[in-house]
Amino acid sequence: MYELQMDLVRKNLKLWLEEDIGMGDVTTMSTIPADRQSKGIIHLKDNGIIAGLQIAEAVFNIVDDQLRFEPKVQEGQAVSYGTVLAEVSGSTRSILLGERLALNLMQRMSGIATRTRQFVDALQGLPVRLVDTRKTTPGHRLLEKYAVRIGGGYNHRFGLYDAVMIKDNHIKGAGGIAEAIAAARSQIPHTMKIEVEVENKEQLEEALNANPDIIMLDNMTPEQMREAVVRMKSQAPHILVEASGSVTLESIYAIAATGVDVISVGRLTYSVQALDISLDLNERKGGTS
């Protein structure tokens, strides 16, 4: 199972809870007795891949470490409408304090995992890796990239700090592809890879001569990609070939069939439809139980 950096995640969860709760949940505090106990039933009103169970548990535990969270499905499991995903038991007030943040995060993460699984399924039988991009929600990148992994995809770089990725504006600013690659190579440690984006045959030739680690074929047609792959494999088979740009479920198989090694898809995270997940109380009267 892909592991999250939970220490960092918890710091964010505390900030997001503070944003939502502020000085206190006036509705809950004014309507629910302090000693009221309940069980919250978290269920799916959709179909898809579930991600974020441990995040929901962390939310409720930050709100109240006496709450008991019980997952009823596995992370990454495909489930259908009406499935109970988890139960959370304890103080009714505490359950309601954490409800919205826990559901919001699970809904978004499950939507990403579901979308990713659709793309992975569309690539069945082809030796290509599906990866995400930096087109993530600010502050939520760790969770969204985690959800991609749960859906069966892989992660591209996490930020601007962990790889050199030379795009069109870097090329313009540096004075050319060769100049940009040479400048980067003179500055970065030997352990860091260099990727460069190309849009046509001329740029491909310039990139090949500069010998980066990865060449991204950006917004090319499948025919152009196929020609580029043949050219690269004949001259520089050690260079990884990545395809990117407006990749859809309808087009991804044809792109993969060109022989590229990696396909990066921004829509795994930036325009995803969240799954519909709800929490209903099954109330238990009285004090502690």
Q: Can you give the pLDDT of all 289 residues of the chain as single tens digits? A: 467 899 999 999 999 999 999 999 999 999 999 999 999 999 999 999 999 999 999 999 999 999 999 999 999 999 999 999 999 999 999 999 999 999 999 999 999 999 999 999 999 999 999 999 999 999 999 999 999 999 999 999 999 999 999 999 999 999 999 999 999 999 999 999 999 999 999 999 999 999 999 999 999 999 999 999 999 999 999 999 999 998 999 999 999 999 999 999 999 999 999 999 999 998 666 654 3
Measured between its terminal Cα atoms, the distance across the chain in Å is 34
Identified catalytic residue from 68, 167, 172, 285: 167
**Confidence at residue 1, expressed as pLDDT on a 0 to 100 scale:** 47
Distance (Å, whole) CA 261 – CA 243: 8
Q: Are 193 and 213 in contact (CB under 8 A)?
A: yes
Q: What is the pTM of this model?
A: 0.94
- Examine the residue annotation and report whether 227 is marked as an active-site residue of this protein: no
What pLDDT score was predicted for residue 288? Answer: 45
- Known catalytic membership, residue 162: no
Residue 285 confidence (pLDDT): 60
Q: How crowded is residue 162: how many other Cβ atoms within 10 Å of its Cβ?
A: 11
Using alpha carbons, select from 147, 111, 144, 149 the residue that is nearest to residue 130: 149
Catalytic residue among 36, 72, 100, 141: 100
pLDDT of residue 283: 67
State the CB neighbour count (10 A cutoff) for residue 67: 20
Active site residue: 46, 132, 144, 197, which one? 197
> Which is catalytic among the residues 10, 72, 134, 135?
135
Distance CA 51, CA 118 (A): 15
Query: Is 39 an annotated catalytic residue?
Result: no
Per-residue confidence (pLDDT) for residue 284, from 0 to 100: 65
Sheet of strand 68-71: strand arrangement: 68-71, 84-91, 37-44, 277-284
Q: Does residue 197 have an active-site annotation? A: yes
Annotation says 135 is catalytic = yes
Torsional class of 246: left (φ above 0), alpha (ψ -120 to 50), beta (otherwise)? left
